Amino acid sequence: MAKYFGTNGARGKTDLFTPEFSSSLAAAFATWAGKGKILVGRDTRTTGEMVESAIVSGLLSAGSQPVLLGVVPSPTVEFETTKLGAAGAIVITASHNPPEWIGVKCIDSKGVSLSKERAEEVEKIMEAKKTTRAQWNEIKEISEYGQAASDHAQAIKKWVNAGKISKRKPKLVLDCGNGTACNIAPQLFAELGCEITTINSHPDGHFPGRNSEPTKENVADLMATVKKLGADAGIAWDGDGDRVIFIDERRGEFIIGDKSFALCVELALRKRKGAAVTTVATSNAIKDIATAHGCKLFYSKVGAPYISEKMIETKAVIGGEEVGGVIWPEFHYGKDGFTTAAKIVEAISEKPLSKWIASLPEYYNAKTKIALEEKEKTEVIEKLKKQLEKAGEKTTTIDGVRVDRGNAWCIIRPSGTEHYARIFAEAKTQKEADALLKEFEQKLTALKK
């Protein structure tokens, strides 16, 4: 089992990500990826340059050529990996976590982040000290590529109907969260012809404007600004730009990730028939939309790498998850908050966002999390699985345990990055979803004792 890597990358603080550890991890990844260019991008965190320097040393020591992209979003690095023909990439980001956290995502030559299982291979190389070491005359030069964000933005502008957007000139409020979105979003949407107002739009690894995760509580200023300005939409990204959320124009209401992903599935399948992929923790609205278009829906474990792998396997045309991460394979196999935002802005140039959301299948959800230590997570959820099987419940155990009861369902799964078990319930009414959540929260709490 992987010791450092979770659902999507390795995360820790300065006590884990020492220069020695970071360098060793990079050298092991370079050995795993094979000789060639390894792209390196980072988010706005204060620890970014420290970790980057160590990672570059590790890559050089293993005979790889580091290509520094600077402070750029994760999806930009994933996009450039295939565009520049790199052997792989490393993104230094802790995504939506607080500023003291550090993280590293390793990406293969196809632009797919390494899952926990594949990352275990890298860990084994590191732990066994079997890294390739270059001789003095095999050390490559460090190169820099400063056009990555521009490349990504230009590709997005060519992909969407830029004419439709510029004609409508939608009024947008962009909350960049002091993260990597600062370096691409304002320019992208201004060049698409939108009237933009920005908040938290200067890069700052302390995240002074708001917490990095774009939850409803954290984007209260964005909601208020959309309402005050009468904007067509509000858009907010997390620290590394792979996740995006939206605020509607009607009352400045927060749109949950399930609904924005469902809208993306609707838009994608209208244009091109094909399979869709989502996780076992995503709304039944996705299933309803895929069925309505005569398309297949495939499920994966929770986490972008698993969605990506299943999309490649099934040749899917769209994939994503409930937190607001959507994968568009025309660009790359990583979640992309900017391509997603541009596609939805194109849609609202046709009709208001609130009307698009109102046209989707209606479900209600409730979620919570219970603190559990690493060992407890596995033990308690295994006990719950047995209890539910004994009771004759309809369960799915791809990732944690999901219980289906007609149009309602609940999933209980261990967090891949934190010491929690997450519980998510969905039903046709809020009352039913809340009751289902409470039932399983009580079950899990009882088993914890």
Mean pLDDT in residue range 101-121? 97
Q: Model confidence over 321-334: pLDDT tens digits?
A: 988 899 999 999 99
Domains in the chain: boundaries: 5-146, 149-362, 364-448
- Domain 149-362 in CATH 3.20.20.70: no
18-32, 63-77, 131-145, 410-424: segment of lowest average pLDDT: 410-424
Mean pLDDT in residue range 95-99? 94
Starting from the edge strand earliest in sequence, which strands make up the sheet with 408-414, in order?
364-371, 420-427, 408-414, 401-405, 394-396
Q: Rounded distance, CA 209 to CA 202, Å?
A: 10
Is the pTM of the predicted complex or chain greater than 0.85?
Answer: yes
According to DSSP, residue 361 is labeled P
Give the architecture-level CATH label for domain 364-448.
Answer: 2-Layer Sandwich (3.30)
pLDDT at 193: 98
Q: How confident is the model at residue 8 (pLDDT cuts 50, 70, 90)?
A: confident
Q: What is the CA 259 to chain-centroid distance, rounded?
A: 16
pLDDT at 99: 97
Q: Rounded distance, CA 111 to CA 308, Å?
A: 9
**Is 310:14 a contact under the CB 8 Å cutoff?**
no
Residue 95 pLDDT > 80: yes
Greater model confidence, 113 or 8: 113
pLDDT at 417: 64
pLDDT at 415: 80
Q: Percent of the chain, pLDDT > 70?
A: 99
Residue 369 pLDDT > 70: yes
- Positions annotated as catalytic residues are 95
Q: Percent of the chain, pLDDT > 90?
A: 91
Q: Rounded distance, CA 324 to CA 256, Å?
A: 7
Domain 5-146 shares a fold with domain 149-362 = yes
Residues 6+ apart with CB under 8 A from 343: 160, 264, 267, 328
Residue 113 pLDDT > 80: yes
pLDDT at 416: 65
How are beta strands 143-144 and 65-71 bridged, if at all? parallel
Q: Rounded distance, CA 82 to CA 110, Å?
A: 6
Q: Coil, helix or strand for 325? A: coil
Q: How confident is the model at residue 448 (pLDDT cuts 50, 70, 90)?
A: confident
Mean of per-residue pLDDT scores for the chain: 95
Query: Could you give the residue ranges of the DSSP H alpha helices within 40-73?
Result: 48-61
Mean pLDDT in residue range 381-388? 93
Q: Which CATH number fits domain 5-146: 3.30.930.10, 3.30.470.20, 3.40.120.10, 3.10.129.10?
A: 3.40.120.10
pLDDT at 142: 98
Q: Model confidence over 229-251: pLDDT tens digits?
A: 999 999 999 999 999 999 999 99
Residue 376 pLDDT > 90: no
Mean pLDDT in residue range 290-298? 97
Q: Model confidence over 118-171: pLDDT tens digits?
A: 999 999 999 999 999 999 999 999 999 999 999 999 999 999 999 999 999 999
